[in-house]
Structure 1
Amino acid sequence: MPESKSRKKPAYTPPPKSAEAKPNPAWYVPTFLTLLIVGLVWVVVTYISQSNYPVPGIGNFNLAIGFAFILVGFVMTMRWR
């Protein structure tokens, strides 16, 4: 029985190592934690005050501001190393 030809190159070649990811600066973690907490407090205060506070006169846009804080904090967590 004839033998099959051997492969000319290895089955797997790992990709070349790129520059290692640099660690985040010291202010990064406290910043995103603060944004998450401020956003949560903003939304809770808005619900408790029936949309009158933290910024009077804008109504339910207070919820949008609170969720924006939370969203920015969450996006920062995805870049955390």
Structure 2
Amino acid sequence: MPKSRIRKKADFTPPPTKQTSINLSSGRSWVAPLMLTMFLIGLAWIVVFYVTTGELPIGSLGNWNIVVGFGFIAAGFVVSTQWK
């Protein structure tokens, strides 16, 4: 009985692709600097409050200075949701 021919499959060559440029800039270059600034202001506010034993940044607020510092940090997290 004769042997059948073995068919060799053609090697796959991907179709030619068009060169497309990808725009990585989303126009929100303000988000990261503002977010980091809010984090740092909040951190600095809390550190200054503890280092000065409650006399600074605003002495009349008392322990509410901690809430203000965490408020800045929370605002930084809110701003971070706009980052793409």
Q: TM-score range by the shorter chain?
A: 0.5 to 0.7
**RMSD (Å), alpha carbons:** 1.6
Task: Provide the C-alpha distance between the structure 2 equivalents of 1:25 and 1:78, rounded to a whole number of angstroms.
Answer: 12
> For this pair of structures, how many residues does the alignment match?
60
| TM-score of the aligned structures, taking structure 1 as reference length | 0.65
Match of 1:29 in 2: 32
- Greater Rg over alpha carbons, structure: 2
4+ aligned runs moved over 6 Å, structure 1: none
| Consecutive unaligned residues in structure 2, runs of 5 or more | 1-24
Residue deviations 1:15-71 (CA, integer Å, cap 9, x gap): xxxxxxx82522111111100000000000111111211012110111110000001
| Consecutive unaligned residues in structure 1, runs of 5 or more | 1-21
Contact 2:46 2:69 in 1 (8 A): yes
